[in-house]
């Protein structure tokens, strides 16, 4: 048992080291001029998308509550944080925290009634709530109404976004690996059995929903201070964005955090490489989505998290094979 | 508010509502039979409008034949869609099928955007515009056509479902798929026919709306799709008369909000109604409540 | 006296739709008893269990367990009163490991808060360690210790039934409700199950309430029986009393040979 604890500690240390190395490498490449500020911006966007995807994965992948309104929470964070920094000159970090809290609260208010619904009915209801958030924002003249909110300062840097993304992943991963997180997963697996084991299913569904919404709110705050502009268009904060996030979750695998990270990175960078094919982007996405559901509904990586053990066992197997071969020849 | 404004918006609401009813029928029939929210239904309505557009402009057809041709083509798209994307998933979790439906919707939209162009097209004026004044209330001939054609199609559908062999088979499959199969009903065929009928109705709606608003674009199906779905839920999903009633109620509710002077909230009405129905009476006005077995 | 009162059900009625699934049923289980609930298919046995565990709302009557009223309490609250159950159609967390299935059942005993879990405080580590120990002990008891890291869906049918019982045991039940635990088992597995039930009764301080169709098992294991037919109790008492009850025999006519076995 202490063995398991030690390997966990080792794994965490390696993960932390890897996170630091990636950050260091990016900064070095930026200093040496290999990565331009445009590249750093794309990387920031990837980090923001990772936050959105991982937070939706907590709700949909781990807790099994299908949400089509995730962009609504992002919208709350995007607009609230912008209003706080522009109108009240609040420090960016404070604005981000408040945005996260506000989005989580709205998540609770929406989640309490909506999470009584199941499956496709829940999906439709969350889509409705997301759109209502959008229409309400559209009708607030102070934040630009239908024209959008302009003149937002650019506070989002790669370093900050990267840090907050790491925090998001660690918090959500640790939550899932706790008794509370297991309660959420048990709801996905079998809600009736979960209730019979003393799990207050409503409480945990709403909790997961609120945590996911909160991080989406923070991601929204980073997004509006990255773009310096936010508009209430469906593709920006509406259901098209919600579906975008959902596609990334599904492609990475429901209930798979590393899968979410990869699919968010790939699907953020891909359009940058395929500039000439911009109009084919959605065609490719939609075909991928359908093929995925038909042939591999569990996502590219399924439920297999990319972990140290997996890598170790892979390396071990390769070594073994080599060893056997050298045995045979000598 | 003056009474005639109210009356005027009621008339507009009935006209628009007839379209929502047409769309809702497709949702409700498909859901009734395979328990799938066919997200791509609104996009088939959009395709119908484009088929009509090309039949009228390039094909030089008059309105009637264009309508029939478009309905036929849309029916074909619906059948193919079910065949390729939904049929292999019939025994999968409903969420898998729902994600596929979302994918199908995105696919039709993005392909249409490439094929038809992203910007809107003016819809040809197949019938000269006329406005009939009754006191201080106006009815346009387009509204009358919209309403008339819709009612005609709904009555036709009703006759098909109630009195034909295939209609009886559809009702049997929606009640109990396994039992229907055991009785020798070809369930695959019934599901194909259901998609065909639903898609044809949606296509008719698309053309009528194209005429009404004079413009079509590849995303025109999104909001009516959601509103049609709301109408189906409101009336009780899976219940055919419910879809008709729900559609008219949606149309009227939406236009009343416009009459109250907040046209930006127009689309929010649909979502508000949807959420209220789902939370308060998920079985809808005419639906029966089902219990989950422990 | 008050502490030892066990389960008391008075005048319980449940209506589902227009149908009276259970009407005016009185039950009593004393601590340490092993009681069977039998009856023909559709007699309302599972509905009684569902009412006891909060999965369906009684339309009349009262449920008391150790002097606590449980009528109209939701399932997760009922579970906190140390009532655990299994399901007729096994309900495991199929995609999770055997060990995680048990850990989830330990949920109500966890004391650390959500933040504690996120920041991995000592309280988190301590309790996680403990639940692991408890879970492995119970797995050893039901003979599944070597399957701890397997996915639940990879177990054989009999093993899945055992896992479901193990999961219920993690909840430290005072009353264990088993809904057809032997359904679908072969004779060897059933024999193992009987052993397991005896073992549970000896090792844990609990009473067992059991729905079962396998009359052989019922007659062997149960100390007392209740017989339900069309939602009404038509007999109760010792195995011998029930066997000689005219009404019970009539109800079972047509259930071929149920009594011969």
Distance CA A295, CA C232 (A): 50
- Judged by CB atoms closer than 8 Å, whether chains meet at A181 and C129 is answered as no
φ/ψ of A233, rounded to 5, equals -75, 150
Per-domain residue ranges of chain A: 38-312
Topology, domain A38-312:
ABC transporter involved in vitamin B12 uptake, BtuC (1.10.3470)
Per-residue pLDDT, C205: 87
Residue C260 pLDDT exceeds 60: no
Distance CA C177, CA C102 (A): 17
Q: Which of A4, A8, A197 should one mutate to test binding to chain C, selecting the residue with the greatest count of C CBs within 10 A?
A: A197
Residue C261 pLDDT exceeds 50: no
Q: Which of A92-101, A164-173, A219-228, B169-178 has the lowest mean pLDDT?
A: B169-178
Which A-chain residues 161-200 have CB contacts (< 8 A) with chain B?
192
Q: Give the closest of A113, A192, A250 to B99, CB-based.
A: A250
What residues make up the domain containing B167?
Answer: 3-280
Is A259 within 8 Å of A62 (Cβ atoms)? no
Q: If you compute the radius of gyration of chain A from its CA atoms, what whole number of angstroms results?
A: 21
Structural domains counted in chain B: 1
- Quickly tell me which residue has 């199941």 as its tokens: A118
Is C65 within 8 Å of C80 (Cβ atoms)? no
How far from chain centre, in Å, is Cα A67? 13
Q: Residue B273 burial (CB < 10 Å; 0-12/13-18/19+)?
A: buried
- Judged by CB atoms closer than 8 Å, whether chains meet at A179 and C127 is answered as yes
Distance CA C108, CA A274 (A): 51
Residue B291 pLDDT exceeds 60: no
Domain C7-252's class? alpha beta
How does DSSP classify residue A149? B
Is A252 within 8 Å of A45 (Cβ atoms)? no
ipTM given for this complex: 0.91
Q: Could you read off the pLDDT of C6-18 as tens digits, one per residue?
A: 999 999 999 987 8
Q: Could you read off the pLDDT of A67-80 as tens digits, one per residue?
A: 999 999 999 999 99
Q: Could you read off the pLDDT of B153-196 as tens digits, one per residue?
A: 999 999 999 999 999 999 999 988 889 999 999 999 999 999 99
What is the share, in percent, of chain A residues with pLDDT greater than 90? 65
Residue of B nearest to C54 (CA): B294
Chain B interface residues facing chain A, Cβ-Cβ under 8 Å?
Answer: 37, 85, 88-89, 92-100, 102-107, 109-111, 113-114, 118, 222, 226, 229, 233, 262, 264-265, 267-268, 270-272, 274-275, 278-279, 282, 294
- Residue of B32, B9, B14 whose CA lies nearest to B241: B32
Per-residue pLDDT, A308: 60
DSSP bridge pairs for C69: C64
Confidence bin at A305 (pLDDT 50/70/90): confident
Per-residue pLDDT, A319: 65
Structure tokens given for A237: 């904060």
Nearest CA-CA distance, residue B92 and chain A, Å: 9
Q: Which of A230-234, C90-94, C216-220 has the highest mean pLDDT?
A: C90-94
Contacts of B274 in chain A (CB under 8 A): 124-125, 128
Is B35 within a domain? yes
Q: Which of B121-125, B195-199, C207-211 has the lowest mean pLDDT?
A: B121-125
Size of chain A in residues: 330
Residue of B nearest to A111 (CA): B279
Structure tokens given for C138: 């119970």
Q: Give the closest of C95, C100, C128 to A303, CB-based.
A: C95
Q: Could you read off the pLDDT of C28-76 as tens digits, one per residue?
A: 999 999 999 999 888 899 999 999 999 999 999 999 999 999 999 999 9
Per-residue pLDDT, A326: 47
What is the share, in percent, of chain B residues with pLDDT greater than 90? 62
Per-residue pLDDT, A37: 86
Q: Give the closest of B37, B110, B262 to A286, CB-based.
A: B110
φ/ψ of C69, rounded to 5, equals -80, 125
More confident residue, B136 or C60: C60
Confidence bin at B286 (pLDDT 50/70/90): confident
Q: Could you read off the pLDDT of A260-285 as tens digits, one per residue?
A: 999 999 999 988 887 777 778 888 88
Per-residue pLDDT, A33: 85
Distance CA A82, CA C16 (A): 53
Confidence bin at A239 (pLDDT 50/70/90): confident
Mean pLDDT over B45-57 rounds to 96
Q: Could you read off the pLDDT of B14-34 as tens digits, one per residue?
A: 999 999 999 999 999 999 898
> Could you tell me if A296 lies within 8 Å of chain C, comparing CB atoms?
no
Interface chains of chain B (3 or more CB pairs under 8 Å) = A, C
Per-residue pLDDT, B265: 80
Q: Could you read off the pLDDT of B201-259 as tens digits, one per residue?
A: 999 999 999 999 999 999 999 989 989 999 999 998 888 899 999 999 999 999 888 88
Cβ partners under 8 Å of residue A103, min gap 6:
A73, A74, A76, A77, A80, A213, A214, A216, A217, A218, A220
Is A218 within 8 Å of A51 (Cβ atoms)? yes
Per-residue pLDDT, B44: 97
Residue B290 pLDDT exceeds 90: no
Per-residue pLDDT, C253: 64
Interface chains of chain C (3 or more CB pairs under 8 Å) = A, B
- Judged by CB atoms closer than 8 Å, whether chains meet at A117 and B279 is answered as yes
Nearest CA-CA distance, residue C244 and chain B, Å: 34
What count of other Cβ atoms lies within 10 Å of the Cβ of residue B198? Answer: 29
Per-residue pLDDT, A3: 54
Per-residue pLDDT, A318: 66
Per-residue pLDDT, A320: 67
Per-residue pLDDT, A307: 65
Contacts of C87 in chain B (CB under 8 A): 294
SS3 A182: helix
- Judged by CB atoms closer than 8 Å, whether chains meet at A175 and C118 is answered as yes
- Judged by CB atoms closer than 8 Å, whether chains meet at B268 and A121 is answered as no
Sign of CA dihedral B232, B269, B279, A245: positive
Is B153 within a domain? yes
Residue A9 pLDDT exceeds 50: yes
Mean pLDDT of chain B: 90
What is the share, in percent, of chain A residues with pLDDT greater than 70? 89
Confidence bin at A292 (pLDDT 50/70/90): confident
Mean pLDDT of chain C: 90
Is B288 within a domain? no
Nearest CA-CA distance, residue C151 and chain A, Å: 12
Per-residue pLDDT, A1: 43
Cα dihedral B22→B23→B25→B27 (10° resolution): 180
- Judged by CB atoms closer than 8 Å, whether chains meet at A196 and C96 is answered as no
- Judged by CB atoms closer than 8 Å, whether chains meet at C76 and A200 is answered as yes
Residue A229 pLDDT exceeds 50: yes
Per-residue pLDDT, B283: 84
More confident residue, B132 or A329: B132
Q: Could you read off the pLDDT of C107-166 as tens digits, one per residue?
A: 988 888 999 889 889 999 999 999 999 999 999 999 999 999 999 999 999 999 999 999
What is the share, in percent, of chain B residues with pLDDT greater than 70? 97
Distance CA B279, CA B281 (A): 6
């Amino acid at each position: 048992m202490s063995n398991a604890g030690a390997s966990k500690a080792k794994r965490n240390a390696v993960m932390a080291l890897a996170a630091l190395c990636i950050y260091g490498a990016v900064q070095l490449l930026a200093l040496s001029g290999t990565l331009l500020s445009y590249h750093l911006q794309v990387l920031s966007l990837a980090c923001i998308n990772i936050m959105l995807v991982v937070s939706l994965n907590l709700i949909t992948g781990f807790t099994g509550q299908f949400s089509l309104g995730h962009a609504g929470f992002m919208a709350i964070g995007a607009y609230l944080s912008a209003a706080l920094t522009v109108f009240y000159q609040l420090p960016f970090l404070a604005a981000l925290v408040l945005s996260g809290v506000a989005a989580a609260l709205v998540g609770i208010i929406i989640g309490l009634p909506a999470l009584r619904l199941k499956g496709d009915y829940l999906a439709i209801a969350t889509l409705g709530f997301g759109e209502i958030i959008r229409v309400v924002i559209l009708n607030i003249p102070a934040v630009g109404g239908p024209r959008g909110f302009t003149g937002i300062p650019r506070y989002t840097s790669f370093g900050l976004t990267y840090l907050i993304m790491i925090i998001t992943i660690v918090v959500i991963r640790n939550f899932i690996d706790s008794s509370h997180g297991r309660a959420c997963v048990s709801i996905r697996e079998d809600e009736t059995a979960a209730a019979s084991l003393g799990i207050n299913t409503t409480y945990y569904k709403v909790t997961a929903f609120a945590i996911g919404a909160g991080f989406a709110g923070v991601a929204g705050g980073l997004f509006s201070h990255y773009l310096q502009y936010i508009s209430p268009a469906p593709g920006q904060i509406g259901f098209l964005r919600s579906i975008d996030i959902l596609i990334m979750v599904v492609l990475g695998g429901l209930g798979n955090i590393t899968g979410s990270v990869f699919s968010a990175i790939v699907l953020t960078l891909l359009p940058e490489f395929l500039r000439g094919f911009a109009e084919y982007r959605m065609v490719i996405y939609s075909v991928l989505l359908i093929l995925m559901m038909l042939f591999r509904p569990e996502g590219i990586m399924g439920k297999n998290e990319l972990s140290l053990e997996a890598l170790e066992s892979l390396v071990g197997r390769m070594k073994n094979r080599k060893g056997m071969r050298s045995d045979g020849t000598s | 508010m003056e009474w005639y404004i109210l009356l005027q918006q009621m008339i507009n609401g009935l006209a628009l509502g007839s379209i929502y009813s047409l769309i809702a029928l497709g949702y409700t029939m498909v859901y009734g039979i395979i328990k799938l929210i066919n997200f791509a239904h609104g996009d088939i309505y959009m395709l119908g409008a484009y088929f009509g557009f090309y039949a009228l402009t390039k094909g030089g057809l008059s309105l009637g034949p264009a309508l029939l041709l478009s309905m036929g083509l849309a029916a074909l798209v619906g059948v193919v869609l079910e065949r390729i994307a939904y049929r292999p998933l019939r025994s999968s979790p409903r969420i898998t099928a729902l994600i596929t439906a979302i994918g199908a919707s995105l696919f039709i939209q993005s392909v249409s955007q490439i094929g038809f162009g992203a910007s809107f097209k003016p819809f040809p004026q197949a019938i000269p515009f006329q406005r009939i004044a009754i006191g201080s209330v106006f009815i346009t001939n387009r509204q009358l056509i919209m309403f008339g054609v819709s009612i005609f199609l709904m009555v036709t559908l009703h006759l098909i479902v109630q009195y034909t062999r295939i209609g009886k088979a559809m009702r049997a499959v929606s009640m109990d798929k396994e039992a229907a199969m055991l009785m020798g009903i070809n369930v695959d065929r019934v599901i194909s026919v259901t998609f065909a009928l639903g898609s044809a109705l949606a296509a008719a709606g698309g053309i009528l709306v194209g005429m009404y608003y004079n413009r079509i674009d590849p995303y025109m199906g999104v909001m009516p799709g959601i509103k049609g779905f709301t109408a189906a839920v409101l009336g009780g999903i899976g219940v055919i008369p419910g879809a008709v009633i729900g559609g008219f109620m949606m149309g009227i509710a939406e236009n009343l909000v416009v009459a109250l002077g907040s046209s930006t909230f127009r689309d929010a009405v649909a979502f508000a109604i949807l959420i209220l129905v789902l939370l308060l009476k998920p079985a809808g006005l005419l639906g029966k409540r089902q219990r989950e077995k422990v | 006296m008050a502490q030892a009162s066990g389960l008391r059900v008075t005048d319980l009625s449940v209506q589902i739709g227009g149908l009276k699934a259970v009407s005016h049923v009185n039950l009593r289980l004393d601590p340490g008893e092993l009681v069977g609930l039998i009856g023909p298919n559709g007699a309302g046995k599972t509905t009684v269990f569902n009412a006891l565990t909060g999965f369906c709302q009684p339309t009349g009557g009262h449920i008391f367990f150790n002097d606590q009223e449980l009528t109209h309490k939701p399932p997760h609250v009922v579970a906190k009163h140390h009532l655990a159950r299994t399901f007729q159609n096994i309900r495991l967390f199929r995609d999770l490991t055997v060990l995680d299935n048990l850990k989830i059942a330990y949920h109500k005993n966890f004391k650390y808060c959500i933040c504690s879990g996120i920041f991995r405080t000592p309280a988190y580590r301590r309790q996680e360690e403990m639940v692991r120990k408890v879970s492995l002990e119970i797995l050893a008891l039901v003979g599944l210790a070597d399957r701890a890291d397997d996915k639940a869906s990879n177990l054989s049918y009999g093993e899945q039934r055992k896992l479901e019982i193990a999961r219920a045991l993690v909840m430290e039940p005072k009353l264990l409700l088993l809904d057809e635990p032997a359904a679908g088992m072969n004779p060897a597995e059933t024999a193992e199950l009987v052993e397991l039930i005896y073992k549970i009764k000896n090792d844990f301080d609990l009473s067992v309430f059991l729905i079962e169709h396998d009359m052989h098992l019922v007659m062997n294991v149960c100390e007392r029986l209740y017989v339900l037919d069309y939602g009404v109790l038509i007999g109760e008492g010792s195995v011998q009393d029930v066997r000689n009850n005219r009404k019970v025999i009539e109800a079972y006519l047509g259930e071929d040979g149920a009594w011969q076995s």
